[in-house]
């Protein structure tokens, strides 16, 4: 089968490899749509916990083409997606019911072959039906499931105000989800004006261009600060800059993925003095069902986020688009 592979950090190629073998508990999926995620770019640059050479791709949907002997819930022809994270179910984290913190966590497209390929294999327990959702929308269930886990961690309250740094695909999903969870005012800021237009169309109540007036404008909207301030950029300097915007008792949500090993400075006295909370949220944590429900019921709009659809042969072009093109939101491959 055809697959896009990252041979080593900085080098990718489209190759022909053997189809993945299907174990007794596995489902073989013919990939129909797969998205490039910021994590894939980190993997490409060697900034993430991946194993090379690697076929990445963990945001995908497709059609079941084969099932292992023990599989009971799926049959050939089913339209599905899969949670890429495979916890070991036996370490102390798994025993505490914290599967995203599994000490032996494996992940489709990170530590084992992913979906930038014609076929991908997933354990039955990770597979979910998508009903009549489009394949494009279904390939956004995984990123939204990451947001849903963060929303749970942050514990959004009715009437909260929120400020989101970054109007990329994740920032826009965060903004929509904060609103669904009860935030009444969701301000999004970014350097790219047209991304802000999209954020506004999809639910941001205010948008602010990140220019020389950014700080004054953000302060003017909420002079006392925001209940929730989110970094959805993964840029260390942006994360450092979030603290002055938090209201007393406010929460800083560290959502963007900074490169591994990054440290940032934070105003410790302010955190102490203002009762601030710094909250992390890592990946998906059994949040696929909620993400599917949000998309299926139209509560969160994901399809407008797909800005580019390419064939898999254009993998390296797609990586470049996702990295640099200011006119991109989500880059998808259709197979």
Find the binder of Zn ion among 20, 56, 84, 87 (CB under 5 A).
87
Q: Residue 102 or 302: which CB sits closer to Zn ion? A: 102
204 vs 246: CA distance, rounded Å: 18
Interface with Zn ion, residue 37, by CB under 5 A: yes
How far is residue 88 CA from its own chain's centroid?
22
Please identify which residue in 8, 70, 75, 88 interacts with Zn ion, judged by CB under 5 A: 88
Q: Which stretch binds Zn ion (CB under 5 A): 3-11, 39-47, 76-84, 210-218?
A: 39-47
Is 278 a binding residue for Zn ion by CB under 5 A? The answer is no
Residue from 66, 91, 235, 279 binding Zn ion (CB under 5 A): 91
3-state SS, 214-259, equals HHHHHHHHCCCCEEEEEECCCCHHHHHCCHHHEEEEEEEEECCCCC
Q: Is 111 in the site for Zn ion (CB under 5 A)?
A: no
Identify whether the C-beta of residue 44 lies closer than 8 Å to the C-beta of residue 156: no
Number of residues that bind Zn ion (CB under 5 A): 7
Q: How far is the CB of 142 from Zn ion (least distance, A)?
A: 6
Q: Is 102 in the site for Zn ion (CB under 5 A)?
A: yes
By CB under 5 A, name the one of 5, 26, 28, 39 that touches Zn ion.
Answer: 39
Three-state secondary-structure class, residue 333: strand
Of 61, 65, 77, 68, give the one whose Cα is nearest residue 127.
Answer: 61
Handedness of CA 163, 167, 168, 169 (dihedral sign): positive
The yes or no reply on residue 35 touching Zn ion (CB under 5 A) is no
Cα 164 to Cα 97, 142, 187, 197, distances in angstroms = 30, 20, 6, 14
Tokens of 140: 């956004």
Residue whose CB is less far from Zn ion, 127 or 170? 170
If the CB atoms of residues 37 and 108 are measured against Zn ion, the closer one turns out to be 37
Binding mask 51-70 for Zn ion (x = CB under 5 A): --------------------
How many residues make up the chain in this entry? 335
Binding map of Zn ion across residues 162-181, x = CB under 5 A, - = no contact = --------------------
List residues near Zn ion by CB under 5 A: 37, 39, 87-88, 91, 94, 102
């Amino acid at each position: 089968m055809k697959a896009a592979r990252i041979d080593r950090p900085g080098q990718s190629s489209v190759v022909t490899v053997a189809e993945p073998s299907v174990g007794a508990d596995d489902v073989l999926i013919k990939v129909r749509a797969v998205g490039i995620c910021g994590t894939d770019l980190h993997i490409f640059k060697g900034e993430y916990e991946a194993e090379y050479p690697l076929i990445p791709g963990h945001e995908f949907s497709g059609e079941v083409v084969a099932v292992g002997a023990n599989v009971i819930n799926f049959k050939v022809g089913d339209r599905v997606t899969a949670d890429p994270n495979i916890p070991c179910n036996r370490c102390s984290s798994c025993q505490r019911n914290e599967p995203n913190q599994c000490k032996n966590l494996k992940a489709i497209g990170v530590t084992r072959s992913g979906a930038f390929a014609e076929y991908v294999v997933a354990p039955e327990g990770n597979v979910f039906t998508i009903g009549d959702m489009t394949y494009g929308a279904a390939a956004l269930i995984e990123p939204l499931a990451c947001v849903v886990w963060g929303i749970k961690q942050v514990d959004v309250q009715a009437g909260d105000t929120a400020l989101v740094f970054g109007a990329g695909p994740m920032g826009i999903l965060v903004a929509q989800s904060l609103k669904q969870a009860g935030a009444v005012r969701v301000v999004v800021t970014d350097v790219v004006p047209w991304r802000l237009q999209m954020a506004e169309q999809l639910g941001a109540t205010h948008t602010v261009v990140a220019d020389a007036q950014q700080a004054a404008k953000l302060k003017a909207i909420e002079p006392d600060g925001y209940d929730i301030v989110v970094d959805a950029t993964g840029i260390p300097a942006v994360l450092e800059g979030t603290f002055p915007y938090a209201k007393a008792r406010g929460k800083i949500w560290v959502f963007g993925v900074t490169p591994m090993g990054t440290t940032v400075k934070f105003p410790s006295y302010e955190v102490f003095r203002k009762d601030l909370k710094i909250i992390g949220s890592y990946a998906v944590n059994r949040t696929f069902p909620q993400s599917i429900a949000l998309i299926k019921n139209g509560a969160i709009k994901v399809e407008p986020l797909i800005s580019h659809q390419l064939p898999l042969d254009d993998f390296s072009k797609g990586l470049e688009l996702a990295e640099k093109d200011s006119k991109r939101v989500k880059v998808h491959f259709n197979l």
